[in-house]
């Protein structure tokens, strides 16, 4: 007697869960910019440089990086992961890596 009710419930919940998971997992292109003092992160289609973020290299394979950005002082952790490959960055790969590991952002000056 309970099987038909659970069957109808599954027919409704499984597609709804799949759509929700797909929407939450989508990746929006972002633009990471070093302005000389702090890293800034914005959506790729925006002209505004975006808020200041802290950048950390989580994985470094030489030709491939996984960066994690976090907004300092945010109440809820707003982290974004940025996968970068040498083949997609091009000639500026060396400059990006040098800036990433040597630049110390002054987040107190921005706040």
| Tally of domains within the chain | 1
Task: Give the pairing type, strands 52-60 and 39-43.
Answer: antiparallel
> 39, 53 in Cβ contact below 8 A?
yes
Looking at the domain assignment, is residue 35 inside a domain?
Answer: yes
User: Which one has a higher pLDDT value, 7 or 62?
Assistant: 62
Looking at the domain assignment, is residue 21 inside a domain?
Answer: no
Looking at the domain assignment, is residue 102 inside a domain?
Answer: yes
- Reduce the DSSP state of residue 67 to 3 states and report it: strand
Looking at the domain assignment, is residue 56 inside a domain?
Answer: yes
Using the CB atoms, write b or e for 42-66: b if 16+ within 10 Å: beeeeeeebbbbbbeeeeeeeeebe
Looking at the domain assignment, is residue 94 inside a domain?
Answer: yes
Q: Which two structure tokens, joined as six digits, stand for 19? A: 């759509």
Q: What residues contact 31, with CB distance under 8 A and at least 6 apart?
A: 41, 42, 43, 44, 46, 50
Domain span at 102: 29-110
Looking at the domain assignment, is residue 5 inside a domain?
Answer: no
Q: Give the H or E element holding residue 89.
A: helix 86-89
Whole-angstrom Cα Rg for the chain? 20
Looking at the domain assignment, is residue 4 inside a domain?
Answer: no
Closest by CA to 28, choosing from 81, 107, 90, is 81
Q: List pLDDT tens digits, range 43-99.
A: 888 888 888 899 999 999 989 999 999 988 777 778 888 899 999 888 989 998 988
Q: List pLDDT tens digits, range 85-110.
A: 999 888 989 998 988 888 766 555 55
Looking at the domain assignment, is residue 46 inside a domain?
Answer: yes
């Amino acid at each position: 007697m309970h099987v038909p009710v659970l069957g109808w419930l599954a027919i409704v919940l499984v597609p709804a869960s799949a759509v929700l998971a797909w929407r939450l997992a989508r990746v929006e292109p972002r633009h990471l910019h070093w302005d000389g003092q702090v890293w800034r992160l914005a959506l790729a289609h925006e002209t505004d440089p975006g808020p200041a973020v802290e950048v950390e290299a989580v994985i470094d394979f030489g030709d491939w990086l996984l960066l994690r950005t976090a907004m300092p002082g945010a109440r809820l952790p707003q982290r974004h992961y940025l996968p970068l490959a040498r083949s997609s960055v091009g000639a500026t790969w060396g400059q990006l890596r040098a800036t990433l590991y040597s630049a110390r952002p002054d987040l107190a000056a921005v706040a």
